[in-house]
Structure formats: structure tokens, C-alpha cells
Amino acid sequence: MSLLGIPFDENSSYLRGAAQAPPRIVEALFCDSSNLWTENGTDLQGRVRDAGSLALPSDTPAAFGAIEREVAGQLRQDARLILLGGDHSITYPVVKAFAAKFPDLEILHFDAHPDLYDQLGGNRFSHACPFARVMEEKLARRLIQVGVRTMNRHQREQAQRFGVEVLEMKDLGSWPALNFQGPVYLSFDIDVLDPAFVPGISHWEPGGLSVREVVNLLHSLRARLVGADVVEYNPARDQSGRTAMVCAKVVKEIAAGLLGR
């Protein structure tokens, strides 16, 4: 199991800083304040490797090309990967690489935002757009979004157009079980959590999930996980380092799911 950093935040629409996240999450994961056992009894000691971070140009098309090539190369070696963002724009080139290996890919997406804008501020690669690109190019057979609480008319139309299943925060309590048929890529935007738990994010969107609810949802997954990302952690807003520990906790529980595939 490898953790690969993708330190890229050129497509953040509001605040930069997510590019600084990967080493901070790794540091929190291996911090002596906790151990490497997951709640369900998987010992990650010696099974999770820090693969460092990619060196990327600031130009988006060039960076996306490099990300797709690097991830594809890792997948050819059958690596089990968790990508550490970076802003959410990185998920588009990452999913391109996964879709080439897994044609029947399904995506489970945790986020306060649907990230389905056709463009934002004229940028079609914005971190508000990756799932519009993924669905247009039919890179996933199914997209389920969990924790959304920022739908507007345009994004609701986009969700309908692409057949996206959206489990909105307001309907928590009547969400269906998270069951999947095919291989699943999990894209985890840390801002799905309530900002009370994760101040170190660019977009504080109140009314989100608790850490406990997220961990329970991850444990409830019935899916063959083949890869994942954890994105949008912004260390510039995380004075106490608390958000890094939450990211590390999420990475741990996802890693256990990947190792059990």
C-alpha cells in the first residue's frame, strides 16, 4: 500500500494551500501520539509506505498529464494507492488512469460539494468541476456522492444529466446502504466533514458529517476498493494540526479497506 502525494492546488477557486498537505498527512499518520491499528483490527505497521510526492509543473495540462502517467505506471505494477491531494482537480487525471485499468469503475465521492460545474470562473479544470469531466468522458459507470450540502440549480441539472446519485446531508438518516457491484474508486474531500472537526480546509461549509459518522460509513462499505484519494486538506488554516490527524484517521480506515480487497 503506497501513499503518493499530489501537491497541486493551481485550480483552487478560493484559497491556495492544499498543495502543502501530503507531507503533513503522512507526518500525522506516523505520529507517536497514536498507533497504526485501525478500529476493525487491521495492523498497518509495515504495510503502508510513504512514496513521497510528485514533482509537478504549475501548468495544469502538463501537470494533469504527469499525474495520469505516474498513476498509470503505479497501477501497471498493481500498486494499491491512496493519493494525497492537493485540491480536488487532481481527481480527474487520477480517475483517467484508474478507468483505463478498470473499465467498469464505480466512484464513491464524499464531499460537501458536488463538484459538477461545467466551468467555474472560466476554468473547466477547476476543483469545482472534476466530476463533470469524469462523467462527460464516461470514465465511471456510476457516481455516488455522499454528504453534499451546496447544491444549486446548475449542479442539480448536471447531476440529473449525468445520472449521479446524490446522498444529500439534509437527508441523512434515510440514506441507502453503500453497496457496489464493480471495482470502486473512493474520492474523499475532507470538507465533507463539519468544519468544527476540520478547520484546516479552504471551504468551511457548516452542517457536515462528524468524524464518527464518516468512520462508521467507511466501515459499512460493501465494495471492492481499488484506489482512493484524500483531498482539500489546507494546512494554512490548520494552526493546531488537528485537521491533519483527522485526515490521517480517514487514510487509515481507507487503507484497511484497500488491503482487504
Residue 189's H or E segment, with its range, is strand 179-189
Torsion angles phi and psi, residue 99, rounded to 5: -65, -30
**Cα separation values, 21 from 5, 39, 126, 147, 178, Å:** 8, 24, 18, 22, 28
The region of 4-12, 17-25, 97-105, 109-117 touching Mn ion under the rule CB under 5 A is: 109-117
* Closest-CA residue to 188 (of 122, 144, 158): 144
Question: Does residue 112 belong to the site contacting Mn ion (CB under 5 A)?
Answer: yes
Please pick, from the candidates 24, 80, 88, 252, the single residue that binds Mn ion as defined by CB under 5 A: 88
Q: How many helical (H) and strand (E) elements, i.e. helices and strands, does the chain have?
A: 7, 8
Minimum separation from the CB atom of position 201 to Mn ion (A): 8
Please pick, from the candidates 10, 68, 106, 111, the single residue that binds Mn ion as defined by CB under 5 A: 111
Question: Does residue 87 belong to the site contacting Mn ion (CB under 5 A)?
Answer: no
Cα–Cα distance for residue pair 220/48, rounded to 1 Å: 22
The region of 50-58, 86-94, 116-124, 178-186 touching Mn ion under the rule CB under 5 A is: 86-94
Question: Does residue 113 belong to the site contacting Mn ion (CB under 5 A)?
Answer: yes
Minimum separation from the CB atom of position 203 to Mn ion (A): 6
Question: Does residue 132 belong to the site contacting Mn ion (CB under 5 A)?
Answer: no
Residues binding Mn ion (CB under 5 A): 88, 111-113, 115, 189, 191
